[in-house]
Amino acid sequence: MGSSSAVVVATIFLTLMLHESNAQLNSTFYANTCPNVSSIVSNVIQQALQSDSRIGASLIRLHFHDCFVNGCDASILLDSTASFLSEKNAVPNANSTRGFDVVDNIKTALENSCPGVVSCADILAIAAEASVSLSGGPTWNVLLGRRDSLTANQAGANSSIPSPVEGLSNITSKFSAVGLNTNDLVALSGAHTFGRAQCRLFVGRLYNFNGTGNPDPTISSSYLATLQQTCPQNGSGTVLANLDPSTPDSFDNNYFTNLQNNQGLLQSDQELFSTTGSATVSIVNSFSSNQTAFFQSFAQSMINMGNISPLTGSSGEIRLDCKKVNGS
């Protein structure tokens, strides 16, 4: 081979290497080391769904709350140690995030089949896709190859995870901080097409919105009456309400139609449609009228979210138990 062609080959190789490290993750990462990873994860979730119709929504939420704090590194799964505080006890997660037992069951099944191979961070990403597709939503090729963090960041969970009561501009900023745009924000909010929320997260809208002494004017009167029955003024804050009153366990585009009808459960939901002049309004309208457009955007936005600052190569580790760092 002449020296010039050797340079060309080396340049192509270098370009591919750069592209690979740039992309970092890929959909065939476990093709040789754990080829059945997706079906193993899916089977465990199907089992869990038999006794818990909420579990799909709970699992996708774990991935979301993981990725917004130090990237998609399974830091949310770690219990507290002498050297760090668990993200499970951060305000957005405490007495609210759930599904950790199902993640452990998935990990056990994978360790039996392919020991020491599949990361907990990748389990969360695969579980999110399986939860959506098993509930009637889109499927997508999950990009894989994340590794697991060696620590957690409770302070980061308190500051970085969007809150249902903080207002659209703040939430948009939190999405922007992790490289997600307004389309991603609206599409990913559409995950509230299934699952539940506790009364304490929206009761302020029902009786005393932002200190006005009145309900949030953007809730339809009939929906307000229903919610006030579910969540009486001095009732239990942990009572559950469906995020999507029309099809509470199906992944569809009804969430967006609900917003058009002033039936968004959380302030953060309804503001996507009721904030005058916001770029989010036309996206809500588009997804409401075209489920295929929503499904395509949702799948792409899940891939975008799954790409937030993953640990790859020799960074981090492959945890053997998702709750704790190896050797601890």
* Alpha-carbon dihedral sign for residues 204, 209, 210, 213: negative
pLDDT, position 19: 38
Q: Which of 145, 127, 125 is nearest to 48 (CA)?
A: 127
Higher per-residue pLDDT: 328 or 40: 40
3-state secondary structure of 324: strand
Residues 244 and 249: their CA atoms lie apart, in Å, by 8
Residues paired with residue 242 on neighbouring β-strands, in sequence order? 196
Tens of pLDDT, residue by residue over 111-169, are 999 999 999 999 999 999 999 999 999 999 999 999 999 999 999 999 999 999 999 99
Provide the annotated active-site residues.
65
Is the pLDDT reported for residue 110 higher than 70? yes
Query: Is 192 assigned to a binding site?
Result: yes
Query: Is 71 assigned to a binding site?
Result: yes
Query: Is 252 assigned to a binding site?
Result: yes
**Domains, the chain, ordered by start:** 37-161 (1.10.520.10), 168-304 (1.10.420.10)
Tens of pLDDT, residue by residue over 196-236, are 999 999 999 999 999 999 999 999 999 999 999 999 999 99
Share of the chain above pLDDT 90, in %: 92
Query: Is 164 assigned to a binding site?
Result: no
CB 186 within 8 A of CB 283: yes
CB 161 within 8 A of CB 69: yes
Query: Is 247 assigned to a binding site?
Result: yes
pLDDT, position 2: 56
Query: Is 193 assigned to a binding site?
Result: yes
Residues 144 and 307: their CA atoms lie apart, in Å, by 9
Is the pLDDT reported for residue 251 higher than 70? yes
Tens of pLDDT, residue by residue over 316-327, are 999 999 999 999
Average pLDDT over residues 174-193: 98
pLDDT, position 3: 52
Residues 96 and 197: their CA atoms lie apart, in Å, by 9
Strands (E), the chain: 196-198, 240-242
Confidence of residue 24 (pLDDT cuts 50, 70, 90): confident
pTM for the model stands at 0.93
